[in-house]
Amino acid sequence: MGRYSKQSLEIQVQQLAQAAGVPAADAVIFASSLVDADLHGVSTHGVSRLSIYLRRIQERLIDPAAPLTVDRERGSVLALNAGNGLGQVQARKALDRLIPLARQNGVAAATIRNSQHFGALSWYCNAAAEQGLVLLAMTNCEPAMSPAGGYEPFFGTNPIAASFPTRRGFPVKIDLATSIVARGNIIAAQKKNQPIPEGWALDPEGEPTTDPQAALLGTVLTMAGHKGYALAMMVELFSGVLSGSAVGSNVGSMYKHLDRAQNVGHFFCLFDITALLEYDEYLERMDETIHRIKSSRKRNGVEEILVPGERSARVAAQNLAQGIPLSPDTLSELEQWCRRLKVEFNCHEVAACTIS
């Protein structure tokens, strides 16, 4: 796998997005989101998705220049309509609109309907943390999980996330899907012809399976049984029902449905820390909390206790220094899109590397 500089990847993605009809400033936002996911080692939400976004733009399933409009507005709350634009662009603009409201009132919230798969939640949460704010973010997604007792995919993997600023050079980042495992892990097992562990998925008849193929045709299980079901429901109600977007199995699939928009819904709630306590005091309290967690007693064989977000911050630092790894498949897709959209292919390896 080759490694590529953050800047060169961002420029390449920007150019392709622009060539597909995304306005220049929006293409910068979009590229930043995709490359940031790869930077943090979340390649499933990174440049590997560019191809399907471009395809959906070309098929007119995404409007690359849609305005973000306000359906309803009261005090610190906005009900927004993404107009079927790029999720990353619209949600980032929504965050920008919430920031002055949160600074003024201490808290601000928005729902966003008519959107798409919008990448990793932590990109938005970390952006808020950089401004000294805490963003709680949720989104519904294309159906993958069933309610407890069922076997029909209804919920997406419905993630929930929040990032908290620290003075340690990285935010404490909570970002988790409510599924027991990412679908990507099942796809990986399928590619390697390996069975998946019991308890991950049901086959299309609702029976437990260890066959990745059957699992992909069936449903992924929620994390922690009924608790994951309850959390997935909460995410669906905040992001789907309250936003006015599609709900549950009505959300379109990014890859399977090339005849209709996804109509994903997002939910943001933004908090200004300084409405609650002095920022320095907050940072001190965070630092002490992190210190106490990291210095607590370790189980046999455990070298270090990490706080959520610490590992991915290390991956990002390494990738920033050494270049971001990109799979040969993703690279070849980039090349093809460059030819198709008449954009110069400019991704040159920083260094060759082996990723375990």
* C-beta separation of 40 from 122 below 8 A: yes
Residue 199, burial from CB neighbour count under 10 angstroms (0-12, 13-18, 19+): exposed
CB of 303 to a copy of itself, least distance (A): 9
Is 329 in contact with 48 (CB distance < 8 Å)? yes
173 vs 120: CA distance, rounded Å: 12
Using N-to-C axis directions, what is the helix angle for 87-105 and 121-130, rounded to 10°?
40
- Shortest Cβ distance from residue 119 to a copy of itself (Å)? 19
Give residues 318-337 in contact with a copy of itself (rule: CB under 8 A): none
Binding of a copy of itself by 7 (CB under 8 A): no
Give residues 251-290 in contact with a copy of itself (rule: CB under 8 A). 269, 271-273, 275-277, 281-282, 285-286, 288-289
Site string for a copy of itself, 197-216 (x = CB under 8 A): -----x---xx---------
- Residue number with CB closer to a copy of itself (83 or 147): 147
Of 110, 113, 112, which is closest to residue 77 (Cα–Cα)? 110
DSSP 168: S
Kindly tell me which residue out of 12, 43, 88, 111 binds a copy of itself, with binding defined by CB under 8 A. 111
Among 223, 313, 324, 331, binds a copy of itself (CB under 8 A): 223
Residues in region 49-78 near a copy of itself by CB under 8 A? 72, 74-77
3-state DSSP assignment of residue 133: strand
**Contact pick of 57, 79, 128, 261 for a copy of itself (by CB under 8 A):** 79
DSSP 56-70: HHHTTSS-TTPPPEE
We find the least distance from the C-beta atom of residue 329 to a copy of itself, in angstroms, to be: 28
| Min CB(218)–a copy of itself separation in Å | 11
Q: How far is the CB of 356 from a copy of itself (least distance, A)?
A: 19
Phi, psi values for residue 277, rounded to 5°:
-155, 165
Cα atoms found within 13 Å of the Cα of residue 71, Cβ hemisphere only = 14
Between 102 and 334, name the residue whose CB sits nearer to a copy of itself. Answer: 102
- For residue 243, the minimal CB distance to a copy of itself (Å) is 7
Q: Which is nearer to a copy of itself, 283 or 341 (CB)?
A: 283
User: Which residues in the 118-137 window bind a copy of itself by CB under 8 A?
Assistant: 134, 136
C-beta closer to a copy of itself: residue 13 or 110:
110
Residue 307 within binding range of a copy of itself, rule CB under 8 A = yes
CA of residue 200 relative to chain centroid, distance: 21
**Least gap, CB of 61 to a copy of itself (angstroms):** 24
Task: Give the C-alpha separation, 292 to 287, whole Å.
Answer: 9
Residue 313 binds a copy of itself, judged by CB under 8 A: no
Please identify which residue in the block is written with the tokens 């309803």: 72
Strands 133-139 and 107-115: unpaired
Q: Which two tokens stand for residue 280?
A: 């320095």
How many of the other CB atoms lie within 10 Å of CB of 177?
A: 25
Nearer to a copy of itself, 134 or 347 (CB): 134
> Is 112 or 326 the residue whose CB approaches a copy of itself more closely?
112
Q: Which of 305, 320, 351, 353 binds a copy of itself (CB under 8 A)?
A: 305
Beta carbons of 139 and 149 less than 8 angstroms apart = no
Using CB under 8 A, count the residues that bind a copy of itself. 81
User: Residue 176: phi, psi to the nearest 5?
Assistant: -140, 135
Name the residue nearer to a copy of itself (CB basis): 239 or 330. 239
